[in-house]
C-alpha cells in the first residue's frame, strides 16, 4: 500500500513506524516513482507526488529497512533508474540502494577529542591496512584487529582515507560514486559505526577524509540525475559550464546552487551526527575555491561553502577538527570566517613536507640545506603552529611517482643504515617541530616502495623493525608529554638558536610556558659525521636529562648507541644562550633533552 501521507521532513529514505517515506530532488523530471522489493520493482506501482522546489515524495506502507530500491525518473520519452543520492547503503556502486536502519547501539559513546596540541595523527586506508585471511580488500572489522598495534604506537587520531562508496572494491577512495553511502566492501554503514565506537573505546579520535572538489567520475548516478543538462555536462548536481572541469573529471559540484550546497553541507554533518566522527579532512580545497588552481579562476561560492560547513561543524561539535588539504600556503584557509577566512582548524603544510623530504633524501651531505630545515621548523599560519599539520609521508607523498622515505634514500636496500638513520630523523623532526604531527600507515616500521590500494601493508616489516616501532612510540610518548617532562613539545614556541651550515647540525628550544618539565632542547645532526665533543648552547643551568636518542641499539642493531646521556650546563654563554654543554653526537642522530628529577631515557 502506498500513500502520500504522512508528509514528513527529510530527504532520501525516511523510516517511520509503519513504513518508509521517500523524498528525492529531481526538478526537471516529468514523473518519478520508487521501485523496489516492496512493489516487485514495478515502475507503475508507486508513483511519487511532486512538491515545491522540485522534490518528489511518497510514503510506502509496506517498505521496511533492508529493502532494496531505486527511483524510476521519467523526462520526456526517457525513463532512467537512479540510486537515491542520499542513500546510506548500496549493494555495490552499480547495484541498488538499501533502506538503512539508522538505529545503532553506541553503548554510551561519549569520547572526548584530545586537545589539538596533543594530537598525533595516523593517516590510514581501510582497504590496505590489514587483510585478515584471503580477502582482496581490508574491512572495518579487519582493521580493528590491529588496534593493539596502534595503541602500542601511541597515536591518538586515525585519519581515514575516504570511505564513501566508490567504483569497484579497490580504490584510494577519492572517486566517490555515492557520497552518502559507506563503501560496501569495507562493511557498509553498520560496519563503520562499530569501527568508530570501538576506536573511541581504544582511545582513537576518528578524522574522516571527505571529497567535495569533485564526485565520481565513474559509477555516478548523480550524473544528469533527472535527465537535464546543459552543454552535455552533468546536470543538476554539477556546474554545466567551464567550472565543471577538474583534474579528476568533469564533475565539480555546483557550489552556487542551494540544493547542492545543502547536499554537501548535510553530508559533512552526517559524519559527525550519525557516525560520531571527530573531524573532517577536506580533499584538495584548492579545487573547491578555484577552477584550475590559479587566482584568476576563483570560485567565490566554493569558498563560501567551506565557510558555512566549518561554521556548522564547529557549532555542532566545538572540539571537532577540520583540516584543509590546499598546499598553497594560504593563511586565509585557517583564518576565521569573521576575518574573511575559510574557518578551517588547520591545514596540511607544504612548507614542511617538501623541504624536509628534500633534505632527508639528498644523496650527499653537502647538499642538505639547513636553511630549508630552519624555515620548515619556523613556518606557521597566522602565528599559530597548531594551524598546520606536519609530516614527511602521506598518501600523496608516497605515490604518483614518489616513494616512501627509505626507498627514496636507498631504493636498492631500504633496510640499509643510511635509510634507517635518515628515515628516523624525519620521524623525530615531525614529532619535535611545532604543529600537529602526522604519520602515514607503515611509516613506523619503515614500509618501503609506494602506496598501492591493491597491496596490504607488509606486516613482515613490522616484525623486522620492532625497534623502529619502539623508537617511533617513544617519540610519540614524548610529543604527547605522557611522562610529564616534555610539555614544551606540545607548545607553540620554538627558538632555533644553533645552526651549523657546514657540519649540518641544528639545535632548537621548544616550550609551552617554560621552566623544568616544560622546556626541551632538540639537537639534530643531518650529516654522516661523528662528533666526540660537540658544543651548543643551553637556556638554563643545571642538569639536562636525555629523554631520547635516535642512535640507540635498542632501536636497531645497526645503530651505535654512542650519544651522550645526561649533561650539565657550563656557566659560559654560547649560541646566544647563557650556558653551554658539550656532547658526543653520532651521525644522522636526533637528541632530546629537558630538565627534571626524572631519570634519563
Please answer whether residues 526 and 504 qualify as being in contact, where contact means their C-beta atoms are separated by less than 8 angstroms. yes
Q: What is the DSSP string of 522-575?
A: EEEE-SS--EEEEEEEESS-SEEEEEEETT-TTT-TTS---S--SEE-BSS-BT
Residue with cell 583540516: 323
- Sign of the C-alpha dihedral computed for residues 416, 417, 419 and 420 taken in this order: positive
For residues 188 and 210, what is the distance between their CA atoms, to the nearest angstrom? Answer: 16
C-alpha cell at 506: 641544528
Q: What is the DSSP string of 161-197?
A: PP-EEESSS---S-SEEEEEEEPGGGTHHHHHHHHHH
For residues 132 and 410, what is the distance between their CA atoms, to the nearest angstrom? Answer: 31
SS3 49: strand
C-alpha cell at 282: 577536506
What phi, psi does 466 have (nearest 5°)? -60, -30
Instruction: Determine how β-strand 49-50 pairs with β-strand 579-585.
Output: unpaired
- Sign of the C-alpha dihedral computed for residues 114, 116, 118 and 121 taken in this order: positive
C-alpha cell at 20: 518508509
Residue with cell 564547529: 314
Q: What is the DSSP string of 17-35?
A: TTEEEEEEE-TT-SEEEEE
- Cβ neighbourhood burial of 330 (10 Å; 0-12, 13-18, 19+): middle
Q: What is the DSSP string of 467-536?
A: HHHHHHHHHHHHHTTTTSS-GGGGSSEEEEEEEETTTTEEEEEEESS-STTT-EEEEEE-SS--EEEEEE
> Which DSSP letter does residue 341 get?
S
CA 370 to chain centre: 29
Q: Which residues are catalytic?
A: 283, 325
Query: For the chain, what is the total number of helices (H) and then of strands (E)?
Result: 13, 28
- Cβ neighbourhood burial of 328 (10 Å; 0-12, 13-18, 19+): middle
What phi, psi does 60 have (nearest 5°)? -115, 110
Rounded (10°) angle between helices 417-432 and 466-479:
20
C-alpha cell at 283: 580533499
Amino acid at each position: 500500500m502506498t500513500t502520500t501521507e504522512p508528509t514528513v521532513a527529510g530527504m532520501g529514505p525516511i523510516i517511520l513506524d509503519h513504513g518508509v517515506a521517500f523524498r528525492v530532488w529531481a526538478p526537471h523530471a516529468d514523473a518519478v516513482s520508487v521501485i523496489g522489493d516492496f512493489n516487485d520493482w514495478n515502475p507503475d506501482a508507486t508513483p511519487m507526488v511532486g512538491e515545491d522546489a522540485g522534490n518528489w515524495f511518497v510514503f510506502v506502507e509496506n517498505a521496511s529497512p533492508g529493502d532494496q530500491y531505486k527511483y524510476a525518473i521519467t523526462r520526456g520519452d526517457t525513463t532512467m533508474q537512479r540510486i537515491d543520492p542520499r542513500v546510506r547503503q548500496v549493494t555495490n556502486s552499480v547495484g541498488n540502494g538499501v533502506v538503512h536502519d539508522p538505529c545503532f547501539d553506541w553503548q554510551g559513546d561519549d569520547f572526548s577529542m584530545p586537545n589539538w596540541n596533543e594530537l598525533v595523527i595516523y593517516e590510514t586506508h581501510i582497504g590496505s591496512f590489514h587483510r585478515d585471511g584471503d580477502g582482496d580488500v581490508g574491512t572495518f572489522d579487519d582493521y580493528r584487529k590491529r588496534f593493539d598495534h596502534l595503541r602500542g604506537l601511541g597515536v591518538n587520531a586515525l585519519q581515514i582515507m575516504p570511505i564513501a562508496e566508490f567504483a569497484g572494491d579497490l580504490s584510494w577512495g577519492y572517486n566517490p560514486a555515492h557520497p552518502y553511502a559507506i563503501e560496501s566492501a569495507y562493511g557498509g554503514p553498520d560496519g563503520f559505526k562499530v569501527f568508530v565506537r570501538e576506536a573511541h573505546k581504544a582511545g582513537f579520535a576518528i578524522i574522516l577524509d571527505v571529497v567535495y572538489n569533485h564526485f565520481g567520475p565513474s559509477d555516478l548516478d548523480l550524473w544528469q540525475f533527472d535527465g537535464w543538462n546543459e552543454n552535455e555536462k552533468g546536470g543538476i548536481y554539477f556546474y554545466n559550464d567551464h567550472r565543471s572541469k577538474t583534474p579528476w573529471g568533469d564533475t565539480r559540484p555546483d557550489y552556487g546552487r542551494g540544493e547542492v550546497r545543502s547536499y554537501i553541507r548535510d553530508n559533512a554533518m552526517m559524519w559527525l551526527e550519525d557516525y560520531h566522527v571527530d573531524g573532517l579532512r577536506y580533499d584538495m580545497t584548492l579545487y573547491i575555491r578555484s577552477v584550475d588552481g590559479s587566482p584568476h579562476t576563483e570560485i567565490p561560492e566554493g569558498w563560501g561553502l567551506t565557510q558555512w560547513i566549518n561554521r556548522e561543524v564547529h557549532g555542532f561539535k566545538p572540539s571537532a577538527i577540520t583540516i584543509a588539504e590546499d598546499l598553497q600556503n594560504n593563511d586565509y584557509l585557517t583564518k576565521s570566517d569573521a576575518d574573511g577566512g575559510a574557518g578551517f582548524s588547520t591545514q596540511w603544510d607544504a612548507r614542511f613536507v617538501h623541504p624536509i623530504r628534500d633534505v632527508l633524501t639528498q644523496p650527499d651531505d653537502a647538499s642538505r640545506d639547513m636553511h630549508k630545515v630552519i624555515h620548515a621548523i619556523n613556518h606557521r599560519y597566522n602565528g599559530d603552529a597548531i594551524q598546520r599539520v606536519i609530516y614527511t609521508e602521506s598518501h600523496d607523498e608516497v605515490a604518483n611517482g614518489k616513494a616512501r622515505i627509505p626507498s627514496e634514500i636507498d631504493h636498492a636496500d631500504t633496510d640499509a643504515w643510511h635509510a634507517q638513520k635518515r628515515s628516523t630523523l624525519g620521524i623525530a623532526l615531525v614529532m619535535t617541530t611545532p604543529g600537529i604531527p602526522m604519520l602515514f600507515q607503515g611509516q613506523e616500521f619503515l614500509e618501503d616502495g609506494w602506496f598501492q590500494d591493491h597491496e596490504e601493508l607488509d606486516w613482515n616489516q613490522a616484525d623486522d623493525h620492532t625497534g623502529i616501532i619502539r623508537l617511533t612510540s617513544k617519540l610519540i610518548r614524548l610529543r604527547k608529554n605522557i611522562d610529564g617532562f616534555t610539555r614544551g613539545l606540545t607548545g607553540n614556541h620554538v627558538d632555533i638558536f644553533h645552526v651549523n651550515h657546514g657540519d649540518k647540525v641544528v639545535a632548537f628550544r621548544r616550550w609551552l610556558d617554560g621552566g623544568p618539565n616544560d622546556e626541551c632542547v632538540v639537537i639534530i645532526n643531518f650529516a654522516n659525521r661523528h662528533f666526540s665533543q660537540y658544543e651548543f648552547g643551553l637556556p638554563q643551568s643545571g642538569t639536562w636529562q636525555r629523554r631520547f636518542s635516535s642512535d640507540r641499539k635498542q632501536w636497531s642493531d645497526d645503530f651505535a648507541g654512542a650519544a651522550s646521556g645526561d649533561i650539565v650546563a657550563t656557566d659560559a654563554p654560547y649560541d646566544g644562550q647563557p650556558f653551554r654543554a658539550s656532547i658526543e653526537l653520532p651521525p644522522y642522530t636526533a637528541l632530546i633533552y629537558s630538565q627534571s628529577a626524572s631519570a634519563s631515557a
